[in-house]
Protein backbone atom coordinates (compact mmCIF):
# COMPACT_ATOMS: atom_id res chain seq x y z
CA UNK A 1 0.00 0.00 0.00
CA UNK A 2 2.75 2.48 0.94
CA UNK A 3 4.64 1.73 -2.27
CA UNK A 4 1.49 2.36 -4.31
CA UNK A 5 0.98 5.75 -2.69
CA UNK A 6 4.58 6.71 -3.38
CA UNK A 7 4.39 5.51 -6.97
CA UNK A 8 1.43 7.71 -7.88
CA UNK A 9 3.19 10.97 -7.12
CA UNK A 10 2.24 11.40 -3.48
CA UNK A 11 5.80 11.22 -2.19
CA UNK A 12 5.33 14.00 0.37
CA UNK A 13 2.23 12.34 1.84
CA UNK A 14 4.03 9.00 1.86
CA UNK A 15 7.00 10.51 3.67
CA UNK A 16 4.72 12.20 6.23
CA UNK A 17 2.81 8.96 6.82
CA UNK A 18 6.02 6.99 7.32
CA UNK A 19 7.39 9.63 9.72
CA UNK A 20 4.36 9.52 12.03
CA UNK A 21 4.88 7.66 15.23
CA UNK A 22 2.26 7.43 17.89
CA UNK A 23 3.82 7.23 21.31
CA UNK A 24 1.04 6.74 23.82
CA UNK A 25 2.19 4.05 26.21
CA UNK A 26 -0.35 2.03 28.16
CA UNK A 27 0.51 1.90 31.85
CA UNK A 28 0.66 -1.69 33.11
CA UNK A 29 0.92 -1.25 36.89
CA UNK A 30 0.82 1.22 39.76
CA UNK A 31 4.62 1.05 40.03
CA UNK A 32 4.94 1.75 36.30
CA UNK A 33 2.64 4.78 36.65
CA UNK A 34 4.49 6.21 39.65
CA UNK A 35 7.91 5.72 38.03
CA UNK A 36 6.72 7.43 34.85
CA UNK A 37 5.23 10.53 36.48
CA UNK A 38 8.35 10.95 38.65
CA UNK A 39 10.53 11.42 35.56
CA UNK A 40 12.15 14.82 35.05
CA UNK A 41 10.16 15.18 31.86
CA UNK A 42 6.66 16.40 31.11
CA UNK A 43 4.20 13.52 31.30
CA UNK A 44 0.62 13.74 30.05
CA UNK A 45 -1.49 11.04 31.69
CA UNK A 46 -4.81 10.19 30.06
CA UNK A 47 -7.27 8.31 32.25
CA UNK A 48 -9.76 6.33 30.18
CA UNK A 49 -11.62 3.05 29.72
CA UNK A 50 -12.24 0.81 26.71
CA UNK A 51 -16.05 1.16 27.01
CA UNK A 52 -15.96 4.99 27.17
CA UNK A 53 -17.04 6.55 23.84
CA UNK A 54 -15.61 10.02 24.61
CA UNK A 55 -12.32 8.29 25.50
CA UNK A 56 -12.29 6.54 22.13
CA UNK A 57 -13.01 9.84 20.37
CA UNK A 58 -10.14 11.48 22.27
CA UNK A 59 -7.71 8.68 21.39
CA UNK A 60 -6.77 9.89 17.87
CA UNK A 61 -6.34 13.45 19.18
CA UNK A 62 -3.90 12.26 21.82
CA UNK A 63 -2.09 10.05 19.29
CA UNK A 64 -1.69 13.03 16.97
CA UNK A 65 -0.44 15.14 19.87
CA UNK A 66 2.10 12.46 20.77
CA UNK A 67 3.49 12.77 17.27
CA UNK A 68 3.50 16.58 17.31
CA UNK A 69 4.97 16.92 20.83
CA UNK A 70 7.71 14.27 21.07
CA UNK A 71 9.29 15.95 24.14
CA UNK A 72 6.27 14.92 26.23
CA UNK A 73 5.71 11.42 27.55
CA UNK A 74 2.14 10.32 26.84
CA UNK A 75 0.63 7.57 28.94
CA UNK A 76 -2.80 5.97 29.05
CA UNK A 77 -4.18 4.68 32.34
CA UNK A 78 -7.15 2.32 32.02
CA UNK A 79 -9.29 3.07 35.09
CA UNK A 80 -10.81 -0.43 34.99
CA UNK A 81 -7.39 -2.11 35.07
CA UNK A 82 -5.86 0.30 37.60
CA UNK A 83 -8.72 1.60 39.77
CA UNK A 84 -6.39 2.33 42.69
CA UNK A 85 -4.45 4.85 40.57
CA UNK A 86 -7.67 6.52 39.41
CA UNK A 87 -8.81 6.76 43.03
CA UNK A 88 -5.47 8.13 44.24
CA UNK A 89 -5.50 10.74 41.47
CA UNK A 90 -9.09 11.77 42.20
CA UNK A 91 -10.38 10.83 38.77
CA UNK A 92 -14.17 11.16 38.88
CA UNK A 93 -14.94 11.38 35.15
CA UNK A 94 -13.24 10.11 32.02
CA UNK A 95 -11.46 10.92 29.87
CA UNK A 96 -9.38 12.94 32.30
CA UNK A 97 -5.92 14.36 31.66
CA UNK A 98 -3.16 15.28 34.09
CA UNK A 99 0.17 16.92 33.27
CA UNK A 100 3.14 16.12 35.53
CA UNK A 101 6.81 16.94 35.83
CA UNK A 102 8.97 15.22 38.45
CA UNK A 103 5.84 13.92 40.18
CA UNK A 104 4.39 17.41 40.56
CA UNK A 105 0.91 17.99 39.12
CA UNK A 106 1.09 20.99 36.78
CA UNK A 107 -2.43 20.97 35.41
CA UNK A 108 -5.43 18.81 34.75
CA UNK A 109 -8.13 18.93 32.08
CA UNK A 110 -11.47 17.22 32.33
CA UNK A 111 -12.42 15.10 29.37
CA UNK A 112 -15.72 16.95 29.10
CA UNK A 113 -13.94 19.96 27.58
CA UNK A 114 -12.05 17.85 25.06
CA UNK A 115 -15.13 15.75 24.30
CA UNK A 116 -17.17 18.89 23.65
CA UNK A 117 -14.55 20.14 21.21
CA UNK A 118 -14.41 16.78 19.43
CA UNK A 119 -18.20 16.32 19.31
CA UNK A 120 -18.86 19.81 17.95
CA UNK A 121 -16.22 19.39 15.26
CA UNK A 122 -18.17 16.68 13.38
CA UNK A 123 -14.76 15.04 13.05
CA UNK A 124 -14.09 16.71 9.71
CA UNK A 125 -10.40 16.91 8.90
CA UNK A 126 -10.24 20.70 9.25
CA UNK A 127 -12.09 20.75 12.55
CA UNK A 128 -10.17 17.76 13.86
CA UNK A 129 -6.95 19.67 13.25
CA UNK A 130 -8.50 22.70 14.96
CA UNK A 131 -9.37 20.55 17.98
CA UNK A 132 -5.81 19.30 18.13
CA UNK A 133 -4.47 22.84 17.82
CA UNK A 134 -6.68 24.06 20.68
CA UNK A 135 -5.45 21.29 22.93
CA UNK A 136 -1.84 21.96 21.90
CA UNK A 137 -2.30 25.66 22.71
CA UNK A 138 -3.52 24.69 26.19
CA UNK A 139 -0.49 22.45 26.70
CA UNK A 140 1.94 25.04 25.29
CA UNK A 141 0.65 27.65 27.75
CA UNK A 142 1.11 25.17 30.60
CA UNK A 143 4.61 24.27 29.39
CA UNK A 144 5.56 27.94 28.99
CA UNK A 145 4.50 28.86 32.51
CA UNK A 146 6.06 25.71 33.92
CA UNK A 147 9.42 26.55 32.36
CA UNK A 148 9.26 30.20 33.45
CA UNK A 149 8.28 29.77 37.10
pLDDT tens, position by position, 62-107: 887 788 777 788 999 999 999 999 999 999 989 898 888 899 998 8
DSSP 3-state helix, strand, coil percentages of the chain (rounded to 5)?
A: 50, 20, 30
Q: What is the pLDDT of residues 107-121, one digit of tens each?
A: 888 765 555 444 444
What is this structure's pTM? 0.66
pLDDT band at 149 (very low <50, low <70, confident <90, very high): very low
Q: Which residues are catalytic?
A: 52, 55
Q: Is 127 exposed, middle or buried (0-12, 13-18, 19+ CB in 10 A)?
A: middle
Of 3.40.30.10, 1.10.240.10, 2.40.50.1020, 3.40.50.2000, which CATH number belongs to 24-147?
3.40.30.10
Amino acid sequence: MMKNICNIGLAKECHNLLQKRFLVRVVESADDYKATILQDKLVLAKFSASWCKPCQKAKPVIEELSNELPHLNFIDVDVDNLPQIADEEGVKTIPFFKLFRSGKLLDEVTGNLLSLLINTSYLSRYQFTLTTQLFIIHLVVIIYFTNNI
